[in-house]
Amino acid sequence: MKPYVPTATIVLRTSLIAGFILAAPAIASANPSFPRGLGFYFDPLRLAALIASFIGWVKLCAWVDEDAAHYKIPAVFWNSLLLVNGIAGFLLIWGLPVFWLATLFFWSTVLAGSYWYICKRNRRAAVEDQLFNREHFQRLVQKYFRRTKTKAKLTITDGVPVKFISRSVSGEVEDADRVDRVQQSKGYRAAQELIYNALERRATDIHLEPTANEMAVRLRIDGMMINITPYNRAMGDGVVNVFKVLCNLDITERRKPQDGSFSAHVKNRVVEFRVATAGSVVGEKLVMRVLDTAAQLADLGQVGMTESMQTEVRDIIARPHGLFLVCGPTGSGKSTTLYACLHEIDRFSQNIITVENPVEYRLDGVTQIEINPKAGKTFASELRSILRQDPDVILIGEIRDKETAEIACQAAQTGHLVFSTVHANDSVTAIARMIDLGVPPFMLSSALQAVLAQRLVRMLCKSCRVRMKPSAETLKKLKIDPDAVRYTYRVFDSAEDREDDADAGTEEVDICEACGGAGYFKRTGIFELLVLNEKIRELIRENPNIPEIRRVATEHSLKTLFEDGARLVIEGATSIQELLRVSK
Ligand SMILES: [Zn+2]
């Protein structure tokens, strides 16, 4: 076997020889055009520049060779290119009478070649390994100009930019008296700070839960409950009272469940809060849901679908009628996906009506109706009146009873495109769920076009995620080809990954500024799309047997949630643990 000589060494040797060959005639003929200065045989400055250029060029060749081997890019072409570029550059330095201009030409040719290479290798590199892109420069700035991580602590200066409005966006006129009343009360400032903090941290729910002598405060961020500093009991009760007054609830009633809503101006936007209170043995607890009415509508790509899935979904949306179901547990992003689907439809040429509880996004050109079961406005009753308004597209917030399920199927069979959600774990189970609700299988089989199951996975914080080598066993479990992925990422663990030991003893730990120490930042969807074909329709009609439907669907390339999520692990967008957590 031939001993392996690294290509870098070959380049180095060749270039040295080339250098001598080039330099020899120069020395021999003592060509007067070669850089020389006054009083010295050679100009030391130019000589230094020449040597520096030579060393720089050799180093660059060595880096390209090593980097190309790393990304499995054929190195011969790039090595030869840089060699030829360098030799041409040195010939210019030798031949051109203006030394500095020639050096500039030398570096232009060499760097142009290297830049071409970098463009090629960036396509194979993971985002954080790409060079000369925006992230790379941001990393450099972070590294050299902001060495110290700032502590993630939300300090609020005087005047919290939160102004309460005592009415819901959809509700009656503003009641200034109530707002005045709470401004005087204890807990007002704390309530403002709580709302501000929660929104800054992107919380979707705020829970105030009394214990014997404290009021625990928990925020739901990216689907996870996080405890924040509790209030003492007196202050906590004060805060609960502020919210109750804003919602116009009975503040003397502390046992019976009550609900209401209020809004707040926070930094130029209006946010709506749905409040529910309930008595417990230790006191009254309060839960708030944040409805950001200014939230941007996502499109199919932004909710996390791959290009090919977007095409499949668009194909279903383009059909003139039929039922399209989205399923998943509560808080799995179903309504966001449904709105992304509505977004694809021309709202001004088609009559679109939605029935929801509550209306989460506001969309121009769409009639949005909120149900109110207490006032007798149920999904089923609202749907019946809607069907008389000649809609083309109907969005039903949720199907959870026989009546609604049947109306949805009938509407889908009579020329309407119907979107809705059901509570089911995966696409095939959703079919079973509809049958369990009492929809006749023959009706479902002709109405249903497709079922999309989905989950939200938290994305790793790009500032603090940690690269790791996945074990062969893990990759096997993920059904990932070990050659396709060199490394995956996991969440930063402050106990294990502390950078220096000096911090180890101190109480205060540096918290990642980008994610507030959670290790994850924002979420994205993973999907399982079951498009009904003739075979599956027949199965539903004749013999709704779930394992059999699943078997046929898998044969027709149904990709499970877990398989769809594996792509995010390969991309380094999420961790294996997170994927296992949400898809189990
Ligand atoms: Zn982070």
Q: Over the stretch 483-517, which tens digit does the pLDDT of each residue have?
A: 777 788 988 876 666 555 444 444 455 788 888 88
Task: Please indicate, yes or no, whether residues 119 and 255 belong to a single structural domain of this protein.
Answer: no
Confidence grade of residue 16 (pLDDT, cut at 50, 70, 90): low
pTM of the full predicted structure?
A: 0.69
How far is ligand 1, taken at its centre, from the CA of residue 515, in Å? Answer: 4
- Mean pLDDT value of segment 141-155: 51
Task: Please indicate, yes or no, whether residues 259 and 135 belong to a single structural domain of this protein.
Answer: no
**Residue 173: pLDDT above 80?**
no
How far is ligand 1, taken at its centre, from the CA of residue 453, in Å? Answer: 29
Give the whole-angstrom CA distance, residue 2 versus residue 7: 14
The string of pLDDT tens digits covering residues 510-547 is: 788 888 888 999 999 999 999 999 999 999 999 888 89
CATH number of the domain that residue 256 is part of: 3.30.450.90
State the pLDDT at residue 149.
42
Whether 388 is covered by a domain: the verdict is yes
- Mean pLDDT value of segment 39-46: 72
How far is ligand 1, taken at its centre, from the CA of residue 39, in Å? Answer: 60
Look at residues 292, 327, 362 and tell me which one is the last residue of a structural domain.
Answer: 292
Confidence grade of residue 1 (pLDDT, cut at 50, 70, 90): very low
Look at residues 292, 323, 356 and tell me which one is the last residue of a structural domain.
Answer: 292
How far is ligand 1, taken at its centre, from the CA of residue 383, in Å? Answer: 45
Whether 150 is covered by a domain: the verdict is no
How far is ligand 1, taken at its centre, from the CA of residue 297, in Å? Answer: 26
**Residue 304: pLDDT above 60?**
yes
Higher pLDDT, 23 or 330: 330
State the pLDDT at residue 238.
93
How far is ligand 1, taken at its centre, from the CA of residue 171, in Å? Answer: 39
Q: What are phi and psi of 514, to 5 degrees?
A: -70, -40
Which residues, in sequence order, are CB contacts of 150 under 8 Å at separation 6+?
513
How far is ligand 1, taken at its centre, from the CA of residue 568, in Å? Answer: 18
CA dist list (Å): 105 to 11, 52, 109, 114, 446:
21, 15, 6, 14, 71
Q: Are 262 and 168 in contact (CB under 8 A)?
A: yes
Mean pLDDT of the chain: 84
Which residues, in sequence order, are CB contacts of 215 under 8 Å at separation 6+?
208, 209, 230, 231, 232, 233, 235, 236, 237, 239, 240
Task: Please indicate, yes or no, whether residues 225 and 331 belong to a single structural domain of this protein.
Answer: no
How far is ligand 1, taken at its centre, from the CA of residue 501, in Å? Answer: 20
Whether 67 is covered by a domain: the verdict is yes
CATH number of the domain that residue 346 is part of: 3.40.50.300
Helix extents (H) in 71-154 = 75-95, 99-124, 134-145
Query: What would you report as the CA-atom Rg of the chain, rounded to the nearest whole angstrom?
Result: 32
Give the whole-angstrom CA distance, residue 379 versus residue 449: 21
How far is ligand 1, taken at its centre, from the CA of residue 463, in Å? Answer: 5
Q: Are 208 and 216 in contact (CB under 8 A)?
A: yes
State the pLDDT at residue 171.
54
- Mean pLDDT value of segment 267-294: 89
Task: Please indicate, yes or no, whether residues 230 and 313 belong to a single structural domain of this protein.
Answer: no
Higher pLDDT, 565 or 154: 565
Look at residues 292, 319, 345 and tell me which one is the last residue of a structural domain.
Answer: 292
Task: Please indicate, yes or no, whether residues 278 and 331 belong to a single structural domain of this protein.
Answer: no
How far is ligand 1, taken at its centre, from the CA of residue 492, in Å? Answer: 7
Task: Please indicate, yes or no, whether residues 190 and 124 belong to a single structural domain of this protein.
Answer: no
Whether 325 is covered by a domain: the verdict is yes
Give the whole-angstrom CA distance, residue 64 versus residue 56: 12
State the pLDDT at residue 508.
53
Whether 154 is covered by a domain: the verdict is no
The string of pLDDT tens digits covering residues 373-425 is: 888 899 999 999 999 999 999 999 999 999 999 999 999 999 999 999 999 99
Number of domains in the chain: 3
Domain with 352 in it: 307-583
Task: Please indicate, yes or no, whether residues 255 and 311 belong to a single structural domain of this protein.
Answer: no
Whether 297 is covered by a domain: the verdict is no
Q: What percent of the chain has pLDDT over 70?
A: 85
Whether 14 is covered by a domain: the verdict is yes
- Mean pLDDT value of segment 182-190: 87
Q: And the tokens for 392? A: 């083309």
Give the whole-angstrom CA distance, residue 208 versus residue 219: 9
Task: Please indicate, yes or no, whether residues 34 and 170 belong to a single structural domain of this protein.
Answer: no
Q: What is the largest CA-CA distance in the chain?
A: 106
Whether 190 is covered by a domain: the verdict is yes
Task: Please indicate, yes or no, whether residues 413 and 446 belong to a single structural domain of this protein.
Answer: yes
How far is ligand 1, taken at its centre, from the CA of residue 187, in Å? Answer: 32
How far is ligand 1, taken at its centre, from the CA of residue 330, in Å? Answer: 26
Q: And the tokens for 121? A: 């290798």
Per DSSP, 372 falls in state B
State the pLDDT at residue 408.
96
Q: Are 491 and 441 in contact (CB under 8 A)?
A: no
Task: Please indicate, yes or no, whether residues 233 and 333 belong to a single structural domain of this protein.
Answer: no
The string of pLDDT tens digits covering residues 60-89 is: 888 888 888 777 788 888 888 889 888 888
Task: Please indicate, yes or no, whether residues 191 and 275 belong to a single structural domain of this protein.
Answer: yes
Task: Please indicate, yes or no, whether residues 281 and 377 belong to a single structural domain of this protein.
Answer: no
